[in-house]
Structure 1
Amino acid sequence: MSRVDDLLDQMTVAEKLAQLGSFWVQDLHRDGATVAPLSDERAANPAGFDDAVAHGLGQLTRTWGTSPLTVAEGLAAMRERQRVVVESSRFGVPAIAHEECLTGFTAYGATVYPTALAWGATFDPDLVEQMAAAIGDDMASVGVHQALSPVLDVVHDYRWGRVEETIGEDPHLVATIGTAYVKGLEGAGIIATLKHFAGYSASVAALNHGPVRMGRRHLLQVVLEPFEMAVRLGGARSVMNSYTDVDGVPCAADPWLLTEVLRDQWGFEGTVVSDYFAINFLREFHHVAETKADAAVLALQAGLDVELPHTDTLTELGEAIESGRVQADVLDVAVRRVLQHKHDLGLLEPGWQPRLDDETSIDLDSARNRDIARRLADESIVLLANDETLPLAPGVRLAAVGPVIDDPLTMLGCYSFPNHVLKHHPGGPAGIEIGSILDALRAEFGEVTHARGCEIEDDDLSGVDEAVAVAREADVVVVGVGDIAGLFGAGSSGEGNDVADLRLPGGQQVLVERLLDTGVPVVLLVVSGRPYALGDLAPRCAAVVQAFCPGEEGAQAIAGVRSGRVNPSGRLPVGVPRVPGAQPWTYLAPPLGRRQGGLTSLDPEMLYPFGHGLSYTTFALSDLQTSSEVIDPDGQLEVSVTVANTGDRDGTHVVQLYLRDEVAQVTTPVKRLIGYARVDLAAGQARRVTFSVHADRTSLVARDLRRVVEPGWLTLWAGSSSMDEALSARFRIEGDLRVVEGERVMVTPVSVEEA
């Protein structure tokens, strides 16, 4: 009998339920300040720690991510908490320790990497995997076992506050980058937790926790693709439910989603953990349960295994099991999954001790980490427009204005430790070195004049005149606008910070307009967690640059792009709108969701489309060829294109391959991304890029919700953005309609050779 079977056989109902629960200690740090993702009232623990672990404990919640602990303090806390858990359990079973890592390990003094939206802008899964492996190494060194990351929600509406936490609006980009992140974490021995399963980012009016009005076909075709790839190819061992309901069914109580799709169809064998307080939300907000016990029954029977951040509803399950309302084997299935995780992590070994490296050897912001953060930041900066003002000439008289220019925290995402936790501890050190854009510009260019102009969220325009005066004395003015990330109203971007439209926050629009009126060339820099509508501004600017909260090394990357030290290679993972109200819309729209030629007075087209990005050199794509004009429904063809650097400096181009199903039984996007490749090219160099496109990559979810490969004509485009249609080719699938069951080809392999 295995250790898991032995424990399961001996445990009482109370001990089993304890393995499905968790505890969040929020009063450890010396100053008593705490952090709660939702509210202090909900985060308050219903019992003391000793009482809560009397029968054991499933998970320890955020020991490192709740208050600013030094490495020594954090290690001591981990040792003590695990000691109490082990000694309180009849079987000496420790807890799984989980933490957040949406922009790096959310701990005091840990590296803050760029946000996930910036990962998407790199189109570089290999580098993202390196980052995740480094994050996993750091977490493992201090006794952490599970990471509540990555976010695999596909952006549907840019007004949603959590856009910065996503990888982008295209499911293939989200899937490939997200799966790379999962591989990095899992390779370091950390359990990756996919979230939010599923549909969270498609809420009505972009309302956080809002209802989702979509059918299962769209859910299967678009929303679930990244999760499926991360499970099948990434090896993710945990999934977190979405707060929302989809077509009236809360995800935390949906057996079709949590069991039929996730487990029965995809073969997932790990745990489903609740988003914080989500089980009780079935009673409190969704009103599909009358009592906490009812909510717990719904969640457990649907396939949810673990309650986070503390045990609240699952303690009510004992009576339901004793009365036969819930079968004992339903409980056993969930407990077995938790114990299997603990077995795989080595937590069930006799004499187990937590892995806690020597504090003198632990550097959570190491040179290795900062190098990865720097490379990610460099690759994520997107040059949207340029009249050759950039890179700036040596000796230029430069003015830097705007509310993001001198505030280092604008570089960081909402779940970074400084923005997420240290806001509750004002006046203390940041724990890491974060430079401002102003500091980086001065390091790059020498003397730079400066005026703030306005605040990020404030409508006060009293500082605009000073900014205009500073700009008039310069040859070029860089104006930095955008966001400060935070949570639930404490910021302009981040969880709970949803917006009514996509105008720049506060008085920033007016600031830019006044600067443009000076006639001095304006380089517009947007540092934000979402794209903003720039149609009234960008055409008047000398250059436009987009950075998506690029992390602790972001300021140097931005300054490097200004000087030309960094040749920009980022590409948009979301579109940049022309007008602030043409939402919700992404490039993944069927023909009637695009410009309609007289059918509507609204033009929904993007100012800068998904995949767009410029460089300080020029590139040309040519000679698109396919290996065949006809394949069968289980066949494959090779698609090749030559990419050449036609400029006078080295650079990197992102070659993108798009597909269109010309006639199908359901409406399909005008085009969708099926492959991409980052290609480094020396000046004058040309390389041949070949994509291997399997028929599975053309599959769609049919009217009957089966995934099928249909016969018919398809169009391919190789280009530099989702709107680049210069090179196209057609091919045909001939044969009977093929139903795709079980595993399928989900990626498009690519090879790059000298031309």
Structure 2
Amino acid sequence: MTEQSESAPDIDALLADMTLEEKLGQVVGFWDQGDGEAVAPMQGVFEGGGSALHEVARHGLGHLTRPYGTRPVEPEEQARRLWEFQRWLVTSTRLGIPALVHEECLTGLAAWRAATYPTPLAWGASFDPDRVREMAALIGRSMRQLGVHQGLAPVLDVVRDPRWGRVEETISEDPYLVATIGTEYVRGLQSEGVHATLKHFVGYSGSQAGRNFAPVHAGPREVEDVLLVPFEMAVLEGGVRSVMHSYAEIDGLPVAADPRLLTGVLRERWGFDGTVVADYFGVAFLHLLHHVAADLGEAAAQALAAGVDIELPSGDAYLGPLAEAVRGGRVDEALVDRACRRALQQKADLGLLGATFEDEPPSQVDLDSAEHRALAASLAEESVVLLANDGTLPLAQPGSVAVIGPNADRLEALFGCYAFVTHVLPQHPGTDAGIAAPTVLEAVTREWPRASVSHAQGCPVEGGDDAGIAEAVATARDAEVAVVVVGDQSGLFGRGTSGEGSDRDDLELPGRQRTLVEAVVATGTPVVLVLMTGRPYAVGWALASCAAVVQAFFPGEEGAGAVAGVLSGRVNPSGRLPVSLPRSTGSQPYTYLHPTLGGDTDVTNLSSRPALPFGHGLSYTTLERRDLRVRAGAASEGLDVSVTVSNTGDRSGVEVVQLYVRDLVATVTRPVAQLVGYARVELEAGASADVRLVVPPARLAFTDRDGAKVVEPGDLEVWVGSSVADRDLLSTVTLSGDVHHVGVRDPRRTEVLVER
């Protein structure tokens, strides 16, 4: 924390004293970006850092954009430069207001040498919001130490189409799982004095054909009952302090220019009183890409009126063009005052108004401490999903292991596109990664030090030919077991097979990887397939042909050790699929939340059933569920559900209790299944636990024909299973009484009670 003067200025008095230029200075950012450092869409179109920082900031500055996350810099050296700039703002500008510093922090602080955690899809696989909260708190602590005040995370988009490149940044296809885990990320980050930023409000993940920036064709009920659900919880229960608008247009109206969402829903309905920030260049895109504004001044006017308070990463629209529009009478200065007041209030909340920066910056910074490492390992271990196993796993002590595949010995295979290694370092070839992370090959060698471990790449992730497959086949033939590690390379804007702007036409493994796997399988050597990916792929063929299949969604710096631990049995796998494993590309977009006619029926000849269902995941012990008890009363009372879970195997394990409901008859079509509660329960061998899930009415609610959020009386199917498809433990109950209207302040989260 920086030192503060005895009293911070009164915001209304401060605002009344500000010139137009000083107000605009507080609602823009500055990004010191260099040539070739493309880490945002269409970055090269904008001047950005072409002007000197001190010249841009002569009237003050709202945000300083990514001082640690734009290029490799030593944290201590950059911290000193940052403190010196903040002191300059305090002593050399008329108002003396420091800048708010923001950084990306989706998988850890996106800075050189910083800890890098599993990607959000792995958080969803863990079904462990508490662990995610712990992770976010550690990330926030590092950020605050370096003088960073706001993090651009978490992503609360709900997966709608696995072809979309940013699936890796999302948590799940289920809005409740996204909501609960995302809200805990918010709580963790903000517990350390760093403001979280919800991304991307709203609809971004519903893009046409999974294309980045493509139009969203979502009706108001899908927006309300699926896409808005996580944001609602993070605002109402998480107390988030910042929200970032989506690049998307919904039914022809860009979100950045939509006051119904940015003001009507966010502020008037939910009571959000923080700041709305632009996704990078999102205001200018109203002119350049959406073509709803004739120039940058008109784009600024639309965004400001809709409720976008801060233009990021720079002031392309909110500086000169907006100043001209205000002076020309085309924009009411009161709108500028509204945004500036919110920006100043945020700085006051963060302790920046009145801060002097007379203290010294940190001289010793450990961004990848043992505490970070231990938590990264724990979350990675919880997130690995065992998809299939014929008994080959665990491999107790193999004599010889062939480790094959393009992701077997590649550091980058561990990380998503918002990790510094994959987000920034590709712009700086030859630079050390700055982070120690064993590859799967290295981790397997450490896991079985007495085994003979051989290696062959076989093929690259994408492109290439079959020239290396013969070597891979020979390597596999000489081993007792072949561990074939395939998947994605994350990267931005087509520089990878997954990541922002790296969408897919199909859901086959990229390049020649399927050919490689099938060639190794044909040797007769048992094949353990390890998927290191940013999305689920259509690998039903592998489930049938491989001895075992393991899924790891970009598991982070300790992820290879987690995978090796699952292979050896040191780690009992407990991850569950946060997304359905697709059967084919042609069945997309698909979600388990479909109504009856969105699934397999007699009126179509094609199946949309996934290869593996949402919530699926195997264990090395046997886990049983019994004695389902469901109490239902009036529609205004919700459900009270209890179930007994037991570990009937010979080793400890984790049961992920999944509670689903189906509304059998409603006034609008309802999904055939809906997750309404879950609990991650650790059980020693032979142990049992009674798990009670108290489901509030809001968890059962939906938007009716009149647009109201209601719970209707009637029959519900209720079941607890090992996945959404496991309906062996099912009960039908009736909600009685009148239609219940859900209030905005009603609880949204299912209460979980575990008695052992």
Partner of 2:45: 42
Distance 1:694 1:39 in 2: 45
The SS at the match of 2:660 is strand
Paired letter, 2:94: R
Paired letter, 1:650: S
Distance 2:527 2:664 in 1: 43
> 1:23 is matched with which residue: 19, 27, 30?
30
Whether 2:499 is the aligned partner of 1:494: answer yes
Larger mean Cα displacement after TM superposition, 311-320 or 518-527? 311-320
- TM-score scaled to structure 1, two decimals? 0.97
Larger mean Cα displacement after TM superposition, 551-560 or 702-711? 702-711
The SS at the match of 1:359 is coil
> 2:444 is matched with which residue: 441, 451, 455?
441
Whether 2:388 is the aligned partner of 1:385: answer yes
Partner of 1:185: 189
Q: Deviations over 1:593-612 (max 9, x none)?
A: 1111x321211111111110
Q: Deviations over 1:462-509 (max 9, x none)?
A: 100110111111111111110111101111110000000100000001
Partner of 1:663: 665
Q: Deviations over 1:636-693 (max 9, x none)?
A: 4320001000111110110000111111111111001010000000111111000012
Partner of 2:729: 727
Q: Deviations over 1:348-387 (max 9, x none)?
A: 12x5217765222x20000000010000000000001111
Whether 2:409 is the aligned partner of 1:418: answer no
Asked if the contact 1:154/1:166 (under 8 Å) is kept, the reply is: yes
The SS at the match of 1:576 is coil
Asked if the contact 2:540/2:583 (under 8 Å) is kept, the reply is: yes
Distance 1:2 1:51 in 2: 25
Q: Structure 1 residue 201: deviation in Å?
A: 0.4
Paired letter, 2:625: L
Larger mean Cα displacement after TM superposition, 655-664 or 732-741? 732-741
Q: Structure 1 residue 55: deviation in Å?
A: 1.1
Distance 2:146 2:198 in 1: 22
Partner of 2:4: none
> 1:12 is matched with which residue: 10, 13, 19?
19
Q: Structure 1 residue 328: deviation in Å?
A: 2.5
Q: Deviations over 1:26-75 (max 9, x none)?
A: 24xxxx86343224513532532122112111000000001111122211
Asked if the contact 1:33/1:425 (under 8 Å) is kept, the reply is: no
Asked if the contact 2:25/2:60 (under 8 Å) is kept, the reply is: yes
Asked if the contact 1:140/1:355 (under 8 Å) is kept, the reply is: no
Asked if the contact 1:71/1:359 (under 8 Å) is kept, the reply is: no
Whether 2:684 is the aligned partner of 1:679: answer no
Partner of 2:261: 257
Q: Trace 1:10-89 onto structure 2 (pairs within 5 A).
A: 10-27=17-34, 34-45=37-48, 47-89=51-93
The SS at the match of 2:59 is coil
Whether 2:143 is the aligned partner of 1:120: answer no
Distance 2:168 2:89 in 1: 36
Distance 1:187 1:633 in 2: 36
Whether 2:312 is the aligned partner of 1:308: answer yes
> 1:588 is matched with which residue: 573, 588, 593?
593
Distance 2:142 2:698 in 1: 38
Asked if the contact 1:168/1:573 (under 8 Å) is kept, the reply is: yes
Distance 2:691 2:614 in 1: 21
Asked if the contact 2:461/2:513 (under 8 Å) is kept, the reply is: yes
Paired letter, 2:704: A
Paired letter, 1:606: P
The SS at the match of 2:403 is strand
Partner of 1:470: 475
Distance 1:585 1:49 in 2: 47
> 2:652 is matched with which residue: 650, 653, 656?
650
Whether 2:628 is the aligned partner of 1:624: answer yes
Distance 2:79 2:467 in 1: 49
Partner of 1:396: 399
Partner of 1:715: 717
Asked if the contact 2:83/2:361 (under 8 Å) is kept, the reply is: no
Paired letter, 1:694: P
The SS at the match of 1:375 is helix
Distance 1:309 1:323 in 2: 25
Paired letter, 1:666: V
Paired letter, 1:51: E
Whether 2:242 is the aligned partner of 1:235: answer no
Distance 1:570 1:207 in 2: 28
The SS at the match of 2:94 is coil
The SS at the match of 1:606 is coil
Whether 2:551 is the aligned partner of 1:546: answer yes
The SS at the match of 1:703 is coil
Partner of 1:637: 639
Asked if the contact 1:125/1:177 (under 8 Å) is kept, the reply is: yes
Larger mean Cα displacement after TM superposition, 472-481 or 271-280? 472-481
Asked if the contact 1:714/1:732 (under 8 Å) is kept, the reply is: yes
Q: CA RMSD in A?
A: 1.4
Structure 2: where are the runs of 5+ without partners?
A: 1-7
Larger mean Cα displacement after TM superposition, 329-338 or 431-440? 329-338
Distance 1:165 1:393 in 2: 34
Asked if the contact 1:529/1:549 (under 8 Å) is kept, the reply is: yes
Partner of 2:3: none
Q: Trace 1:205-604 onto structure 2 (pairs within 5 A).
A: 205-315=209-319, 316-349=321-354, 352-353=356-357, 357-360=361-364, 362-446=365-449, 447-596=452-601, 598-604=602-608
Asked if the contact 2:484/2:529 (under 8 Å) is kept, the reply is: yes
Q: Structure 1 residue 395: deviation in Å?
A: 3.2
Asked if the contact 1:63/1:77 (under 8 Å) is kept, the reply is: no
Q: 1:574 to 1:355 in 2, by over 3 A?
A: farther
Asked if the contact 2:542/2:549 (under 8 Å) is kept, the reply is: no
Partner of 1:133: 137
Paired letter, 2:99: A
Structure 1: where are the runs of 5+ without partners?
A: none
Distance 1:297 1:216 in 2: 26
Distance 1:297 1:689 in 2: 53
Paired letter, 1:522: V
The SS at the match of 1:230 is helix
- TM-score scaled to structure 2, two decimals? 0.97
The SS at the match of 1:566 is coil
The SS at the match of 1:571 is coil
Distance 1:393 1:75 in 2: 48
Distance 1:634 1:546 in 2: 40
Asked if the contact 1:163/1:530 (under 8 Å) is kept, the reply is: yes
Q: Structure 1 residue 248: deviation in Å?
A: 0.5
Distance 2:308 2:638 in 1: 39
Distance 1:476 1:580 in 2: 31
Asked if the contact 2:171/2:177 (under 8 Å) is kept, the reply is: yes
Asked if the contact 1:53/1:88 (under 8 Å) is kept, the reply is: no
Q: Deviations over 1:381-402 (max 9, x none)?
A: 0001111100013133211101
Distance 1:354 1:707 in 2: 52
Q: Structure 1 residue 2: deviation in Å?
A: 6.0
Asked if the contact 1:645/1:684 (under 8 Å) is kept, the reply is: yes
Report % sequence identity: 53
Count of residue correspondences: 745
